[in-house]
Each structure stands twice: as structure tokens, then as C-alpha cells.
Structure 1
Amino acid sequence: MFILLFAFLLLNCEKSEPENMPPLIQQVNQEMLSVDPFTFRFSVSATDQELDPLTYFWDAGDGNFVEGEQAEEFTFTDNQSVEVIVKVLDGTGNEAIESITINTELVRAGVDLAVTYQEMEGFGGFGAQDFPWTDGPFTSERFVSDLVDDLGITILRDEVPTNFEIENDNNDPGTIALEQFNISEDHSGHHRHLGTRLQYFRDIKAANPDIKFVASVWSPPPWMKANKAVDNGTDENSAPAYNPTPDSNANQLLKENYEEFAEMCVAYIKILKKECDIDLYAFSIQNEPRFSQSYQSCLYNGEALRDLLKVVGKRFENEGIDTKLFVPEDVGHYDGIKSLVDPILQDAEARQYVDILAVHGYAFDGVTAGSQDAATWQAMYDWGKPYDIPLWMTETSGFENTMTGAVDLAKAMYTAITYGNVSAWLFWTISGSNQLDAYNLMTASGEKSKRYYVSKNFYRYVRPGALRAQGTVEKDSILILPFKHPSENTATVVLINTANQDQAMEMDLEGLPEQMVLYRTSENENCEQVAEVSPDNNRFILKANSVITLYGNY
């Protein structure tokens, strides 16, 4: 009896054993390795529940399975769409099959350097090694080398400190007492004094004497304003209506102090020349004038900004100052910024003092990256076109600290340069903080973001004096920006792949240098030289979500 029971239990145990399961394929990947000939690397991720050893069979599109490894390379001819199949076996007769489709399409691109548009004045951004509201450091040999020799900035923007004229210099706006302006003392509630920045300016100028220095006013000194403060006195940011008869809460420059304000602007320019031998290239009388913020700010409408511009422009003229004036330096929200531009350009006296129209590449809140569409950029450019007034983009940020964010930044640059014909592009803070975020390109310690390297694809290889030229490309997901540099006898082509797939490119080099170096920024490359392009070797890979620059001498 016992023997029969044991046999029955044993039989049931054998019946309950699970049958061997087939392998599981998690993913099949492909990577384009070369385009002449087309070569791809395929890999498969697979597991077996019983931990049986796996074998791999590949069909490279010809209908035949050949045993291989977990990763294999295959070559293909041009202009094919091929389904590559992998079969994974576990040695017990079980198998799993998966496929991936590749394309060997060649996308052709070319340029016409005889068709040209705006002349580029430069690329750059704001600030020192660390923010002006910190204890620094504000300069170092490494920082200067990064900006000038590596990134390649050609425009540097800074602020006029709100404590620059902490008290009225002499109660006579017609007579400047330079020794009364503050370049040595900090004051509570203000950013660091101008003296903390002077060595930084000197170091940058020494590294590249041709860099254009520009400055913006965030707020006049408190004593010039209705509310006697550098900000709006609250924790909120807003865009209120301008009050022609301001009360003591208004974050506005008092009209009776317009001449004093103009005197301060002249003093800033003269002190930069005296202390650093810098001829300030351009000056903005107000950063984002439609906004009254919890940080340094001052509110204007179009008429007030126009009237102030007349006073400052006339003072520059009388002083023999040739520093350019740029306005309105506001967020590129079409109707809002137009309300600032129209009163200025429609007034002949004010218009004569406008050297540059400047916009900021943000959404309406002033802090979110918001590249305007092509039509809006074109409209903003058209405001100044009848008067030969160029358009600049003087501040943007908010792009994620990822490769996707870097490509978004490149797309924003493309849109502004192509449709807005902007001749200068400035990021917000080039450097600052202890960590990378959406508002800086690198940290104060020198850690660089993908946005830094995508910027380098433009900054370093598109120099002042370059002329944007005509470019063509066969695919909408690829953007092209060509430039020629008559004075340097060089040419540059920037290509942006906005898609999630690698793309094989064929570059028509007609009109371009016969030898061009290819620099690529991708998920695992940082504006690195990866190839040389010539008439006999004009095919290359434009990786998914990447930016490349072709640069060569004639």
C-alpha cells in the first residue's frame, strides 16, 4: 500500500513540472557605423527563464538565417529599407524572433554662398565665472580660456550695478563727477559693486581684444525711482500698466530724473574706458521694461521708453560717445514688445538713436524658453528693416540640461537666425552656480553642459563678419545654416538633426572648401572632431538628436 501511494505522488510531481519556456527578447538595437558602404551594428538583449544557453541567428534581409553573436555588423547598399531579423534559440527547440527595420536613404544637402542675408555680429552671453550676487570667484585663467579659446564667445553682456550711483554724484546732471561713482563698496540689497567685475573685464579683453562688451540696466539707482527700491517691493512678478503719474509704490523711473539717468549711463561708459580701456560696444537703457519684478527691474511703456531714449541718445551725442543703443530688450511676445517698439520707431527723433532692436527669447512670463515661430521672428525683423536696424536676441534660457534640451536650443538659434535674421545671439548666464541647470551653460567650477557644446558648434565657428548664406536639405527634420567669412576666407555649415534616428548625409561641396572638418555634439560627443569631408569623402552620419559643424578654409 505504501509503495503504491509513493508511486502515485511521484507520478503527479512529474506531471506538474513546468514545460521549458522560450527565450524572451527585451530589445533589438541598431547603430549606423558608416555610410560608405552603409554599415550597421545590431545587438539583441534576451534572457531565458531556465537560464539555458542562448544562440543567435541573424537574417540581414536576404532571407537566410546565419548563426552569429549577440551583436553583429552587416553592410547594405544605398537607398534600401531592410528588415533585419534575429532568432534566439535556447537549445531545447524553443525560439524567439524579433525584427528591426533600417533605412539606407541618403539625404543630400547643399549651399549657395552667392545668396547671402545678414552679417553676424557675434555670439555670447551674460556674466562672470559666478553670479554678480555671489562672492565669486568672478574670474580665473580656466574660466577665461573656456569662454574665449574653447566656447569662442565674441559678445559679453553685463549689468550696470544698481549701486553704481548709490547717491547723486553732485545734483547737477550736466556735470559728471566720476570719482563719486561707486566701484569699491557693496551695499545691502544690491548686487556686487562694479569693482568686483573690472578684473574679469580686463582678463576677457586681454584674451581677445575684439570681444564686444555690452551692458544693460536692470534698475536705476533707488533714489531715481518713485518707490525708492531696486525692485517692486513684493515677492511677486508682474506686468502692470505704466502710470504716467506714479505714486510712491510705482516701480518706475521718475521723469525728473531722466537727465540724471543719462548722466549715469555716460559715467558707466567712461569708467569702463578709464579702468579697463574698454570701449563699450552697445548699451541697453532697460532690461525687460514691461515687467515689474521681485528682483531688479523698472517699468516703462513705449512712450516712456521713447522719451528716455531721446534723453540718453542726445547725451551720448553731446558727449561724443559712439556706443550703440539697443532697445527694447523685452520678451519676444509679439503684441507686448510691439507696444514698446512702435512709439520709438514712429518718432523720427527717437529712431535716430536706435542702433539695434533687441528681443529676449522667452515666453510671456519672461522665464520660460519660448522660441517664437518663424512668422513672429520675421515680423520682428521687419520692424527695423526699413531703417536698416538689425535685430539681436540678447537673452534666453530655460532649456533642459539634456541632449534634447541642447537640440531645442540649437533649433531656437536656427529659427531666430533664419527667420528673424538676428545678427547676434546671447544666452543668459554662461557660467554660475554649483550645478548645471536650465539657466547656465556651465558651472562656476567649469562643468559643462550639452547646451555649452551645442553653443560651441555656433560660437566658435561662426565669427563676426560672417554672412549667412542659402542652404538646402532634402528632409524637414534636418535644419541647415551655412555661413561664409569673407575676411577669414572660410566657410561654416551647421546641421541639426531634430529626429530620433541617425541620418546618412551626402554634402554637395560646390562652392565650399575642398576640405572641411566635421565637429559633432551628440549624446556621447562634445563638439568633437570626428571626420573630414572632401569631394571624394562627402558622406557622413548625422546622429539622432545631434548638431554638427562643418568648417574649412579655402
Structure 2
Amino acid sequence: MNKHLRSAFMKALAGCGAAVVLLTTAAPAPAIAANESAEVWLTDLSTGTRLAKQANLTFGPDDGAAGTSIVVDENTQYQQMDGFGASITDASAWLLNYKLTSAKRAEVMEKLFGQTGIGLSLLRQTIGASDFNWEIYSYNETAGDTAMNNFSIARDMPYIVPMVKQARGVNPNLKVMAAAWSPPGWMKKGQFPDAVHPMATGYLDPQYYGAYANYLIKFIQAYQGQGIPIYAISPVNEPGLQIKDYPTTYMSISDHNNFIKNNLGPAMRNAGLGTKIMAYDFNWDNVSFPDQALADPAVNSYVAGTAYHHYGGTPSAMTTIHDKYPNKDIWFTEGGYGSWNPSFNGMMREMIAVPRNWSKSYILWNLALDQNNGPTVLPNSINWGTVTIRSEAMDSVTYNDQYYAIGHFSKFVVPGAHRIASTGYNGGTLDHVAFKNPDGSKAIVVFNHGSASNSFKLVWNGQKISYTLKANSAVTFKWNNNGGSGTAGAVSLKASANGSFVSADNAGADPLVANRTAVGDWEKFRLVSNSDGTVSLQAVTNNKYVMADLNNGGRLIAASTAIGTWEKFYRADAGGVTTLRSAANNQYVTADLNLASPVLYANRATAGGWEQFAIASAP
């Protein structure tokens, strides 16, 4: 983590107006009636309002009157999002594990990762020690052990692995990335000559390239053995950084490329690992390094894309790389905040600018730090955690501005969503970015970075919402394609258990069954958002509502003419899949393959693979 380049941070907003290039064009959305209802979530620091739900607003016909307009076009799609998150560093894990009671920890985890909280969907974990640790360590301190016979993640087992597991228990679709700050000290040359700092500074000795690749593979396998799949990996965090107080590793572009194409890439492929390799993983201010990495055909064949931090340069650097290598992904993997960049204004502007410049992610740094901005091996820390957990007491938790800023995105944009076009971005004081979730719902985040209130029209599908946003305030609108009568544009449901679409036609009767390979009329449903937070489904073909028939074991049947308790379901979305829980009996809807057809029932106390569905706009 390069806190010594923090003076360049405020320049990072200069690229927020970077042009974007069309990636894909989706099929036109079905026509939607007027009176569409949108949720409104507001942060207004002047009144102490933080990510608070306001009264829903209703889209009405756009009268075409002049004024500031933000136009959302869901048919113009850009990159697909992996999500939003933070890092459970050694410091964060220790505080979560030891400074919270089990009940309080469950509450905090739900507020961070749960559906009633902000639904964080990404973690970036450190491979060994970083600067926010009790001590510096690696997973193999046996010099010369190139076969990694003494490799062990035992140091992570008391509290780091358990906290990651608990987070994944709250959000089972939570993806985990990882980055190494340094190889073991015995693999390095030129490091700081102090036994107290065995991994600080220096570079990876070429004779240990193979051993280090093996080290990283052992880490991936060890975490997978703990039930924590590693989605992506960076071989070195911030290559080129040299600081004596914590693990850092100098890696030139030549060394970086040689290591990936001759060692790490082949070794991971031979090991049969599906973990992605992210190149670079450093600041925006060096465009040459990621460019040279992707320009090497061999490196390009092994890496999924490039990763970035915000301690120098501007977000437009990511668009520069995207435009040159449009088939490679981009991630933003570390954004630290502290006394040098404390403003909510800066946070919101950057979190909007990053996805607008093609990043699939926005990841904060420490998930939690204490009142002294630690624990840390740094002599002084000016970092802030997403939450503050006091270390001299129990169960003392403060949710900081970072929490609410990223919550404006993570709570409403699920993995698998696409960024979609929102125009009217350049000029004025309104920054915004819009997304379309896999289920067809839309979300847009708008921030007023000016010094006065700003009134605007949010225009979508020929409809508008008028809104006035105060200075230094953020708002997220989310809507689900509900028509004026409370019913929705047609959607389909696909059971994850067998990959089949749900149909309301069971040989001429009405019970729902997951056995169709394509979407026809009987496989289309209108999705209804009810005022109490539940949803209902209405079969398009017979216009009957789906009910959990408690007289028949909770069987789902499209047979009701009105919405009552039996026709209501609690919906939860994570990782591109949806679970439905009946409001009538509090049981999850299942497509149990052990049952005939399989007919859908609301009769499961917990949700697993059979209880997961993909909801998408129906053709």
C-alpha cells in the first residue's frame, strides 16, 4: 500500500469525465407503463442522514421541459460488475474476532455483507503480511525450501480464515481476491538489511521464481481447502514500491512479465487452477507498466486483466488501457481513506468515476481498524477503516463515511450487473453511474459535488422522476420494471439445480415446475414489488398470482386472483442468484430434484443450491 504517494490523490478525480465506448447492445426492453415506483436512498450529511430509505417516487410521463436531465439507457451496456468490497486484513480480522462478542459480530457481519446491510460482495485478502498486521510473516520461513514442504497457513487459522468464512456464511457468493505484499524474505535480494524487517524492500531473486510460483499456488490450494475459493490473484502488490517499515517488493516490468509468462502462468495452468491472474496492481499514474504487460503476447495469454489503486494518477488511466485492450478486464483493488483524503465528496466522486472508467470492482482497504488506526507495523497510521472497532473495549463499533459511500453501490448492484449508459454526466455538479442487475432491476447513484442544491430529471423509458439533491449529498434510485398496476415486465426464472426454466403449465394445470429448456408464454411472469418489501409473481398466460399453497405442503401454484400473505415472498439476491422465502410459512422455495418434475414447494428451512434461481428479463 503506497501511502507515500498520497499527495497525488486529489488529482485522481480529474479523469471522471472520461469518454466511454459502447461494449454491447442489449435487446430492447419491453415497454413499461407509467407510474413505475422507484426506491430512494439518501445520504445528506448536513442533516445526519446516511443511506436512509426515503419515500418511494413514481415515474411519470416526461413532458420534455428544459432543465438538467440524467437519461438512463439500459440498452447500452458496458462492463459486467464483480462487485464492491474491502479487505479483511490481519488487523481487521483480529478486531472482528476478539473485540466483538459473537452476537455483536453477527450483527456487524450482517451490516457489512448481508441483504439487510450493504451486501459487500468482494474481499481482497493479503497473502501473508501487509502493513496492517501484528507482525511481519510469510507462510514459509524455511530458507531454501523451494519444494514448499514447510508451507503452512497456520498463522491465518486462529482468526483470519474464520472471519473470511463467517463473511462468506452471510454472503455465500462473496468472491475473494488475494495479493502478496512480498515473497518470503529468503527469496529476496537487496532487502533492507535489518533482521527486524526481513521482507521489507528488495526484489525477488530470479533463482526463486519457480519456488515463488509454487508458494502462490500453495496459498490458493490451502485456502480452497478451507472452503475459500480464490477468484483472482496478484503476484505482487504495488510492484516498484520500496518502504522499509512493512513488506514491499520491487518488481520491474521485465521481471513482472518474465515471472508471469515463464513461471506463475504455466504453473497455475498445470495445477488446473481457475484462479484469474491480475497484472500490475498499482497506481493509475503509471500507464506504461500495464500497457507493456498486456502488450507481451505470452503475458496477455495468462492474465485476465489489470488492477489499480488510487494513490496517484486519475481513473481515466483505466479507460486508456481498456481502449487499447478491450478484451481484458479491469479491476480497482485498493482505495484507502484516512486523514489525507477524508471527504465524503471525494469518496463518492471516485466511486462513481471508477466504474465509469471500466472497472469491474471497487474495493476499499481495511474493513476495520481501531481508534488508533491499527493494529499495524507502521510507526504511524493515518488510515481509517470502513468501520472502527475500538480495541480497548468490547462491542464498540462506528460505521464510517466509507461504509455509507460504498453502500450506495453495493446494496443495490449485485455481481453480474452491467454498467449501463447514463448521459448528462459531463459538466455541472451531478456525477452519476447506472447499472442493470441480472434480474432486470436498475440502479443509479447520483452525487451532487457542488456547493448548492441541484434539481434534475431522472429520465428512463420515456418516463421521469423530478428530484432536488442538496450539496455534498448522494442518492441511489432503484426500480424493478413494475407497471402502474403493480405488475412488472415479463421475467423468467431458471432453477440453478437443473438449469431449467420455471413454468406455470404443468400438463395443463397450474403448479409451478422447473423443467423447461426455453422460455415460452407459460415461462413468463410479472414481478410485483409490494409496499411491505415482499414481491409477488403473476403468471403472464393466465394472469394468476403464484401462491404457496399451505394446504398442499407449500406447493407453488399460479391460481390466485389477488395478493394476500400466501402470494408474498421475501426476495434475496447475491452473486447473480435469487432466493425466495414464503411470507406465509417463512420457508424457502425449492426446486428439489428428488421430487417429481420437479414441482416447486416452499418447504425448506435453509437455502442451498436447489433453492437458488436466476431471474432475468424474459424475451
State the TM-score, normalizing by the size of structure 2: 0.58
For 2:358, the equivalent position in structure 1 comes to 421
Offset at residue 106 of structure 1 (A): 5.2
Question: CA 1:136–1:253 in structure 2 vs 1: closer, same or farther (change >3 Å)?
Answer: farther
Aligned to 1:478: 430
2:388 to 443, 452, 456: 443
Please report how far the alpha carbon of residue 109 of structure 1 lies from its aligned counterpart in structure 2 after TM superposition: 2.2
Q: Is the contact made by 1:399 and 1:409 (CA closer than 8 Å) also made in structure 2? A: no
* Deviation sequence 1:208-255 (CA, Å, 0-9, x none): 11111011000111111124x6x675999xxxxxxxxxxx99701111
Shift of 1:469: 1.3
Question: Aligned residue for 1:211?
Answer: 174
Is the contact between residue 232 and residue 293 of structure 1 (CA under 8 Å) also seen in structure 2? no
Q: Would you say 1:323 and 2:323 are equivalent positions?
A: no
Whether contact under 8 Å (2:146, 2:208) holds in the other structure is: no
RMSD: 3.0
Instruction: Please list every run of 5 or more consecutive structure 1 residues that lacks an aligned counterpart in the other structure.
Output: 1-104, 186-192, 237-247, 364-369, 513-534
User: 2:127 is matched by which residue type in structure 1?
Assistant: V
Cα deviation, residue 427, structure 1: 1.2
Change (3 A) 1:172 1:470: closer
Residue 129 of structure 1 deviates from its aligned partner by: 8.4
Please name the residue that 1:551 is paired with.
478
The residue number in structure 2 matching 1:362 is 311
Which of 146, 153, 164 lines up with 1:183 in the alignment? 153
Conserved 8 A contact 2:72-2:421: yes
Which residue in 1 is equivalent to 2:112? 147
Q: Specify which structure has the bigger relative contact order, considering alpha-carbon pairs within 8 angstroms and separated by 6 or more residues.
A: 2
Paired residue for 1:263?
214
Mapping 1:525-544, distance limit 5 Å? 538-544=465-471
User: Could you say what secondary structure the match of 1:201 adopts?
Assistant: helix
Aligned to 1:433: 370
Aligned with 2:140 (options 141, 147, 166):
166
In structure 2, the residue corresponding to 1:443 is in which secondary structure? Answer: strand
Partner Cα distance (2:315, 2:166) in 1: 38
Conservation of the 8 A alpha-carbon contact between 2:139 and 2:153: no
Which SS does the other structure have where 2:451 is aligned? coil
Distance 1:472 1:290, change over 3 A: same
- What is the TM-score when the length of structure 1 is the normalising length? 0.64
Q: State the match for 1:349 in structure 2.
A: 298
Q: Which amino acid aligns with 2:68?
A: V
Residues of 2 paired with 1:341 and 1:507: CA distance?
A: 37
> What residue is the counterpart of 1:124 in the other structure?
85
CA contact (8 A) 2:237 2:282 kept: yes
Aligned to 2:453: 502
Residue 312 (str. 1) matches residue 277 (str. 2)? no
State the Cα distance separating 1:481 from its structure 2 match.
1.0
Q: Are 2:319 and 1:378 aligned? A: yes
Letter in 2 for 1:167: E
Q: 1:399 to 1:409 in 2, by over 3 A?
A: farther
Q: Which residue of 1 aligns with 2:234?
A: 284
**1:133–1:204: structure 2 CA closer, same or farther, 3 Å change rule?**
closer
CA–CA distance in structure 2, aligned partners of residues 460 and 350 of structure 1: 35
Aligned-partner residue type, residue 409 of structure 2: F
* 2:223 aligned with 1:272: yes
Structure 2 unpaired stretches of 5+: 1-65, 130-136, 374-381, 390-395, 482-619
When residues 471 and 328 of structure 1 are mapped into structure 2, their CA distance, relative to the original with a 3 A threshold, is same
Is the 1:399–1:408 Cα contact (8 Å) retained in structure 2? no
Shift of 1:397: 2.0
Say if 1:232 and 1:251, in contact at 8 Å, map to a contact too.
Answer: no
What code does the residue aligned with 1:280 have? I
* Structure with larger Rg: 1
Deviations 1:467-501 (A, max 9, x none): 1111123862111211111x222100111101111
Determine if contact 1:355/1:389 at 8 Å carries over to the other structure. Answer: yes
Task: Give the letter for the 1:473 counterpart.
Answer: G
The alignment partner of 1:125 has SS state of strand
Cross-structure match for 1:7? none
Decide whether the 8 Å contact of 1:232 with 1:292 is kept in 2. no
Q: Distance in 2 between matches of 1:138 and 1:303?
A: 44
> SS of 2:399's equivalent?
coil
Partner Cα distance (1:490, 1:166) in 2: 47
